[in-house]
Amino acid sequence: MELKITKTTAPKAKPVDENNLPFGKTFTDHMLIIDYTEGIGWHDGRIVPYGPIEMDPATTTLHYGQAVFEGLKAYRCPDGKIRMFRPDRNMARLNVSNDRLCIPAIDEEEFTKAIMELVNVERDWVPSAPNTSLYIRPFIFATDVFLGVHPSHTYKFMVILSPVGPYYAEGLNPVKIYVEDEYVRAVRGGMGFAKAAGNYAVSLKGQVVAGEKGYSQVLWLDGIERKYIEEVGAMNIFFKINGEVVTPALNGSILPGITRDSVINVLKSKNIPVSEKRISIDEILEAYNNGTLEEVFGTGTAAVISPVGELCHKGVKMVINNGEIGTVSQMLYDTITGIQSGVIEDTFNWTRIVE
């Protein structure tokens, strides 16, 4: 797809203090837009100055939430190159989400190239301070102007970019997580496995209540028995119990995280036992009580590897590893960020150079 590029005449000042970049508050000078029209397909790809978009009040997305998104990052590497981490996986997952929400499929390679072209236009915006990157947010939403409930005939794919530091204010310091026992995020047959806007809307209430109790995130349990561990608001979850790392199996109601998959591969490559299975909160409590719950950490593009220092379930506070980051969590953080930022050889062939 040939992209039409219109450069801004009013470039913004770039952040001066890269060591204090908040997550997702600063946006670059340009954005990517590709339209979809039934009968034509995806068309009119263009890079234009970043700015507001006009919408008719009857745009279906605003009413029924036919919207999906992705999150990935680009890194400035010591060899001067800019690398993206596993963009093919994000585009493949976007198509899985599209399918669930009746949004037309994208051409994964073509759209990856379009994103790379945008990142290339904005390459001066990729920060270089440690633990910073350029967060890439592709999203698709329905644009028909109509109040009936049916799949839209028109859509917009857009990509915006944001130079970011750590997602949590805690950085690599362990976060406190509240195990939610009242609200649920998803059920099998629903859209929990998709990166759909509505999955985040439904999670807000639990997150607000947990926040009022002093917790940064919620750990969701399954929607039926309220017993099996699912995932955290913006990350997948791992437990190290008695030397073995375990994470909930992909069951249709959790997001198949790309960092999750990367972590499983790194653990296997280092011969650290890892398995994907159904895990109940009772097993975690039991491991905590008998002293074998060694580490807990979350994984996500925004969150990277985020150690969990405390889990609270029904009033029981489980303090993990004295509230400190564990050795496996630290190794995974160093390995994954090392590969992402080009300081460790990418033997998995996960990164893609932006040029």
* In the complex, minimum distance from the CB of residue 320 to ligand PLP, in angstroms, rounded to a whole number: 20
Spatial separation of the C-alpha atoms in residues 57 and 172, rounded to whole Å: 42
Which of 230, 231, 294, 295 is close enough to bind ligand PLP by CB under 6 A?
231
* In the complex, minimum distance from the CB of residue 57 to ligand COI, in angstroms, rounded to a whole number: 26
The 67-86 contact track toward ligand COI, x by CB under 6 A, reads ----x---------------
Q: What is the DSSP string of 19-41?
A: GGPPTT----SEEEEEEEETTTE
Q: Which two tokens stand for residue 154?
A: 């028109």
Pairing mode of beta strands 304-313, 293-300: antiparallel
* In the complex, minimum distance from the CB of residue 302 to ligand COI, in angstroms, rounded to a whole number: 3
Q: Is 307 in the site for ligand COI (CB under 6 A)?
A: no
Q: Is 222 in the site for ligand PLP (CB under 6 A)?
A: no
Q: Is 104 in the site for ligand COI (CB under 6 A)?
A: no
Which of 267, 302, 320, 336 is close enough to bind ligand COI by CB under 6 A?
302
Q: Is 192 in the site for ligand COI (CB under 6 A)?
A: no
Q: What is the DSSP string of 203-243?
A: THHHHHHHHHTT-SEEEEEPTTTS-BEEEETTBEEEEEETT
Pairing mode of beta strands 30-37, 154-164: antiparallel
Which of 84, 184, 234, 339 is close enough to bind ligand COI by CB under 6 A?
234
Q: Which residues contact 82 (CB under 8 A, 6 or more apart)?
A: 74, 75, 76, 119, 120, 123, 126, 134, 353, 354
Q: Is 45 in the site for ligand PLP (CB under 6 A)?
A: no
Q: Is 236 in the site for ligand PLP (CB under 6 A)?
A: yes
What are phi and psi for residue 34, nearest 5 degrees?
Answer: -135, 130
Please identify the residue of the shown chain whose CB is closest to the bound ligand COI: 71
Provide the binding-site residues for ligand COI, judged by CB under 6 A. Answer: 71, 234, 300-302
Q: Which residues bind ligand PLP (CB under 6 A)?
A: 71, 231, 234-236, 255, 257-260, 299-301
